[in-house]
Each structure stands twice: as structure tokens, then as C-alpha cells.
């Protein structure tokens, strides 16, 4: 076992025994839903950097796998949408964290008339070797865990998720990313990595690892400033900006011309024809916006057609699309 994986478990053993509000922080507002009352201890133990619970992923009573349970806030939120025994499976290798999560879910049961603790099946297990059958879950999620893994372990964690998700199922991820070069002394610092501060990689690298694993569609749903590793507090010559991203990877078949990666780009046709057809399955009518993936945006831009407006990425893609 790599030393940094052990250090990570030590860090979260401490964070299970003594809630640490400053450990991570969510850049997305916490879901407030009718009749959902999140216990304070879950808010104090919110160790994520974004949200992985999105109502539009959670129709049709899905079976959900959540890896790295923390204080249990997101497994409770997922249970809101799948109210049956064992609908949400939570995996964590740290005994103390599973115990804390279980106690917090018992408090949630007292505070929420609709919630039963047995909606969540908490199991011992590791992201690198999931104790879950192939093709068995509709939605899988992780929040602020995969960024800790080095390249080899990150690829393994992603392929494990791909293995257990049903065809057309979804992997929802929230993680820090960093577009600057992380100084080597910080990158190899086991504790900083475990605290989700120095393992972050560029977003395009993160996405490529997902598409290399086979996910045919990617949605970049949010990208926000998260932390700055500044020269006064960290051993770095320049300030390093870390952002938090929310990404959904869908186990769609891989298109012959490569994955569809949606980053919030839009195309608008401004010509006089009744319909504009790009010959690639995309049709547009005058001044009607359509969301396009980066591949289609690039193909349309290459036409150099002044009657086409193509926006830049805003990294806040929220559904719909060209492909």
C-alpha cells in the first residue's frame, strides 16, 4: 500500500473522530429540499468541494453508489430520491468514518419522517477495488476523493467506477483541479494531498482519463475558485489557484469520432435559410440556441461561416445538446 494512501486514511480517521469544518468547503450551495432536514453534524463534516447530487440524474428510483462517505450528507441527499432499503450503497475503508456516517444517519432518521436508515447500505471497501458487481448501479458518485490519488490510482479508481455502472449510467464527480504546474514539493506532500490541496491536475487531463476509461459523454457542470496556495503560507514561489469542478461522465457508447465533451458552448444560426444543416446530424433554425459539445463547436468553427455564432466554454453546462 502506498504511504500516501495510509496517510489519507489517518487524516480521515481524525476527521471522523473530531469534525473539522475547515477541512474542505463546498463551493456549491447545499441543497435545501422540501422535508429535507440535514443534521448539523453532517454540515460540520461536509468534506466535499462541490455537489454530486443533481435531481435530473436521479429520476426513476436509481440504485446509487457513493464512494468515500464522509459524514453522510450526500448519501442522505441521494436517499431523498431513492427511498427504499439499500438503494444507496456507501463505501469507505476507514472504520471510524463509516461509524460516524452511520451515527449521523441515525440522527437524520429522527429529524426526517421520510428517511429510514436502512435506505443506505454502508460497506467497508476501497475505491481502488470496489466490492460491487459489474454493471449494477445506475448512478455512482465521489466528492473530493479522486483528486488525492496519483495518476495510476486515479485511473484505477475511474475504471472501477466504469466497471460497476450500468450501460448509460452516470458517474458524478466533484473534485479540485489546478491549471498551473503544482510545485513538486507540494505534490509529494502526503498530508497536503490527503487534505485535497496538492493532488489536483488540469481539467483536460482529468476529462481525458474519464474518456480513456470509456465514458462517451462528459458534462462539465460547474467550475469555481476553491483555494489559493499562497506564497505566504505554502512553500511556493507563486500563488497557485485551485478550482472546484463538478463533472458528470456518462457510460454512453464511445462515438466513432471521439467523446462528446460538453463545457457550456452554444451555437446560433444567423442566416436566412429555413434550416441550417451541418451534414453531421445537427440542424439549426434562425436565432435558436443549441448546446454543442466541444467537438461539434470545433467542427462548426472550422466552417468559417459568418452566419454561425459559436460561444466559448463557460464550464456551466446544464443539459440539452447536439449529440
Ligand X SMILES: C[S@@+](CC[C@H](N)C(=O)[O-])C[C@H]1O[C@@H](n2cnc3c(N)ncnc32)[C@H](O)[C@@H]1O
Q: Using CB under 6 A, list all residues that contact ligand X.
A: 5, 8-9, 12, 24, 46-48, 67-71, 74, 91-94, 97, 126-128, 143-145, 196
d(CA 100, CA 288): 50
CB 307, min distance to ligand X, A: 46
Residues sharing a CB contact under 8 Å with residue 231, sequence separation 6 or more, in sequence order: 237, 238, 239
Q: Which of 132, 135, 165, 160 is nearest to 146 (CA)?
A: 160
CB 58, min distance to ligand X, A: 17
Q: Is 8 exposed, middle or buried (0-12, 13-18, 19+ CB in 10 A)?
A: buried
Instruction: Name the 3-class secondary structure at 148.
Output: helix
| Beta carbons of 159 and 213 less than 8 angstroms apart | yes
**Shorter beta-carbon distance to ligand X: residue 47 or 262:** 47
d(CA 275, CA 290): 13
**Shorter beta-carbon distance to ligand X: residue 39 or 70:** 70
Instruction: Name the 3-class secondary structure at 246.
Output: strand
**Shorter beta-carbon distance to ligand X: residue 46 or 296:** 46
**Shorter beta-carbon distance to ligand X: residue 25 or 241:** 25
d(CA 180, CA 169): 32
CB 259, min distance to ligand X, A: 26
**Shorter beta-carbon distance to ligand X: residue 145 or 201:** 145
DSSP for 227-243, written as a single string: EEE-TTTSS-SS-EEEE
Instruction: Name the 3-class secondary structure at 199.
Output: coil
d(CA 151, CA 2): 13
**Shorter beta-carbon distance to ligand X: residue 141 or 292:** 141
**Shorter beta-carbon distance to ligand X: residue 62 or 71:** 71
Positive/negative CA dihedral, 299, 302, 308, 309 = positive
CB 217, min distance to ligand X, A: 23
CB 224, min distance to ligand X, A: 15
**Shorter beta-carbon distance to ligand X: residue 51 or 211:** 51
Provide the greatest CA pair distance for the chain. Answer: 66
Amino acid at each position: 500500500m502506498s504511504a500516501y494512501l495510509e496517510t489519507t486514511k489517518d487524516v480521515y480517521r481524525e476527521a471522523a473522530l473530531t469534525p473539522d469544518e475547515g477541512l474542505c468547503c463546498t463551493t456549491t450551495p447545499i441543497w435545501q429540499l422540501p422535508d429535507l432536514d440535514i443534521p448539523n453534524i453532517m454540515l460540520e463534516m461536509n468534506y466535499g468541494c462541490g455537489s454530486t447530487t443533481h435531481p435530473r440524474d436521479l429520476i426513476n428510483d436509481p440504485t446509487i453508489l457513493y464512494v468515500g462517505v464522509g459524514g453522510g450528507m450526500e448519501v442522505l441527499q441521494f436517499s431523498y430520491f431513492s427511498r427504499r432499503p439499500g438503494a444507496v450503497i456507501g463505501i469507505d475503508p476507514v472504520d471510524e468514518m463509516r461509524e460516524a456516517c452511520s451515527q449521523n444517519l441515525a440522527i437524520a432518521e429522527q429529524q426526517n419522517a421520510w428517511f429510514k436508515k436502512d435506505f443506505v447500505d454502508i460497506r467497508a471497501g476501497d475505491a481502488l477495488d470496489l466490492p460491487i458487481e459489474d454493471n449494477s448501479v445506475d448512478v455512482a458518485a465521489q466528492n473530493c476523493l479522486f483528486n488525492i490519488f496519483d495518476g495510476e490510482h486515479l485511473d484505477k479508481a475511474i475504471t472501477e467506477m466504469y466497471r460497476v455502472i450500468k450501460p448509460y449510467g452516470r458517474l458524478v464527480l466533484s473534485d479540485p483541479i489546478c491549471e498551473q504546474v503544482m510545485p513538486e514539493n507540494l505534490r509529494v506532500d502526503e498530508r497536503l494531498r490527503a487534505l485535497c490541496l496538492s493532488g489536483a491536475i488540469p481539467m483536460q487531463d482529468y476529462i481525458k482519463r474519464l474518456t480513456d476509461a470509456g465514458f462517451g459523454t462528459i458534462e462539465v457542470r460547474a467550475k469555481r475558485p476553491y483555494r489559493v496556495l499562497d506564497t505566504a503560507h505554502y512553500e511556493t514561489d507563486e500563488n497557485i489557484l485551485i478550482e472546484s469542478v463538478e463533472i458528470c461522465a456518462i457510460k454512453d457508447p464511445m462515438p466513432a469520432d471521439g467523446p462528446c465533451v460538453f463545457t457550456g458552448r452554444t451555437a446560433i444560426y444567423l442566416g436566412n435559410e429555413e434550416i441550417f444543416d451541418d451534414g453531421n446530424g445537427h440542424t439549426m433554425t434562425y436565432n435558436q440556441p443549441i448546446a454543442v459539445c466541444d467537438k461539434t463547436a470545433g467542427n462548426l468553427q472550422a466552417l468559417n461561416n459568418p452566419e454561425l455564432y459559436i460561444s466559448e466554454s463557460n464550464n456551466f453546462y446544464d443539459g440539452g445538446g447536439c449529440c
